A and B are shown apart, each in its own frame.
Chain A
Amino acid sequence: ETGVTQSPTHLIKTRGQQVTLRCSSQSGHNTVSWYQQALGQGPQFIFQYYREEENGRGNFPPRFSGLQFPNYSSELNVNALELDDSALYLCASSPRGEDSYNEQFFGPGTRLTVL
């Protein structure tokens, strides 16, 4: 069974640029969540996708957007990068259940540095 994978591992961008981060969910999981984790902080919820539709969103501006594909893999896009966007971006997949919140399986993250 393949776990959650993310690419790239590290990325360096400059202010104003755009970035796309990718995530492959664990086999059998149809829900993907994205988090931003600044150095020394806890992960902050960006949004969640369930069956290709956004299923909830945290307090992030619209320049943070995402997609989920039919195979349940996902992308996180960030436009007009700012210095404060420098962080570890975590993707987590889970099997969506109807009556309970499910355990999330996290990938290793993508370290984004904005200069």
Chain B
Amino acid sequence: AKTTQPISMDSYEGQEVNITCSHNNIATNDYITWYQQFPSQGPRFIIQGYKTKVTNEVASLFIPADRKSSTLSLPRVSLSDTAVYYCLVGEGTGTASKLTFGTGTRLQVTL
């Protein structure tokens, strides 16, 4: 599954931010996971889903019926949310795990 994302996005503090990932070749049993990465650190898990909508304490993930894209929604961003966000598409079961990160979206939050 090849995954593409917008290169960058800008937002003001307190706004809702939606970042979309396109994964046209997603396989039937692939899950979609989103990670956040700060400079010089490893990625950190945000949220994961397979279909429809998933929500946790920090974000929501929207996945349409065809699963060829997904949207990460950050409800009210703060300055500390400035980071690079990656979607990751990977097999849910089986032994041939091939994990593909998206191209990454650099989010800049300002006052």
Contact = CB atoms under 8 A, between A and B. Distances in A.
Nearest to B46: A103
Interface string A79-90: 000000000001
Interface residues of B, number: 26
Interface in A73-105: 90, 92, 98-101, 103-105
A107 B43 CA distance: 8
Contacts of A57: 98
B90 A42 contact: no
A104 to B, nearest CB: 7
B16 to A, nearest CB: 24
A90 B48 contact: no
B96 A90 contact: no
B108 interface: no
Contacts of A105: 45
Interface in A11-69: 33, 35, 41-45, 48, 50, 55-58
A56 B94 CA distance: 10
24 contacts: A33-B99, A35-B101, A41-B103, A42-B86, A42-B101, A42-B103, A43-B101, A50-B95, A55-B96, A56-B95, A56-B97, A56-B98, A57-B98, A90-B43, A92-B42, A99-B92, A100-B31, A100-B93, A101-B33, A103-B45, A106-B42, A106-B44, A107-B42, A108-B42
Contacts of B98: 45, 56-58
A43 B43 contact: yes
A100 B51 CA distance: 13
Given A48-B97, A56-B98, A101 B90 contact: yes
Given A4-B42, A108-B42, A109-B42, A42 B99 contact: no
Contacts of B92: 99-101
B86 to A, nearest CB: 6
Contact of B99 (A45, A98, A107, A109): A45
B93 to A, nearest CB: 6
